[in-house]
Amino acid sequence: MSAEEERIKQMVDDILKNAKIEADKILADAKAQTKEIQQRGQNAAEKEKNIILETESKKVTETEKQQIASINLLARREILQKKEEEIKIVFGLAETELKNFHKKAAYTKVLEAFIIEGGTAIVGGAISIKTRKGDATKIKDLASIAKAITKACGNKCTLKISKETIDAMGGVILQTEDETITIDNTFEARLEQKYRIIRTEVANILFG
């Protein structure tokens, strides 16, 4: 991939990167709130312990321990729900930006970069490219793109545009001739991948 293609592709990646930066702020907030929950649980346990020591007539029962754990779990779930809503807002803004990206002059280079990236991941061979309706005409030099893939993966590559179109904001879907391997390089797929990673990180912080 040339420096120019890499720069153009970076424009899309920057949109996703900005979404992740905002999501990371949400993660940091989740960590702080989780710590607060843990502290509240510890304080509750310490208070209970002091009562026991003072009265010497009461023992902490399993039921009481479960009640404290249940309160903590409920609080964590409420935070998770709130953080998910915040993350969805962040990624919703990124989605809005990506929906209009196909109108930019740089979009053609993005398509080429996505094809090279996906074709290299497939390791060349005969590859079919599925595009949005109207995007096929923006991919002007399949031979040069195939050559770039061949050079990148070391295996001869041939490309053709599929008659089948895709319903997507942008990007492409690549498929081997025997249909055993599919690479989804659409904007939606990239956005969803980032969203799943961030959501999992939040859940791990709260429940891990």
The Cβ of residue 194 has, within 10 Å, a number of other Cβ atoms equal to 19
The amino acid occupying position 107 is Y
CA atoms within 13 A on the CB side of 175: 15
Domain spans of the chain, in order of start: 3-101+192-207, 106-186
Given a contact cutoff of 8 angstroms between Cβ atoms, the answer to whether 174 and 122 are in contact is yes
Domain 106-186 belongs in CATH node 3.30.300.30: no
pLDDT tens per residue across all 208 residues of the chain: 555 555 555 666 666 667 667 767 776 776 777 677 667 666 666 566 555 555 544 444 566 667 667 777 777 788 778 888 888 888 888 888 899 999 998 999 999 999 999 999 999 999 999 999 999 999 989 999 999 999 999 999 999 999 999 999 999 999 999 999 999 999 999 989 888 887 788 777 777 6
pTM of the model: 0.69
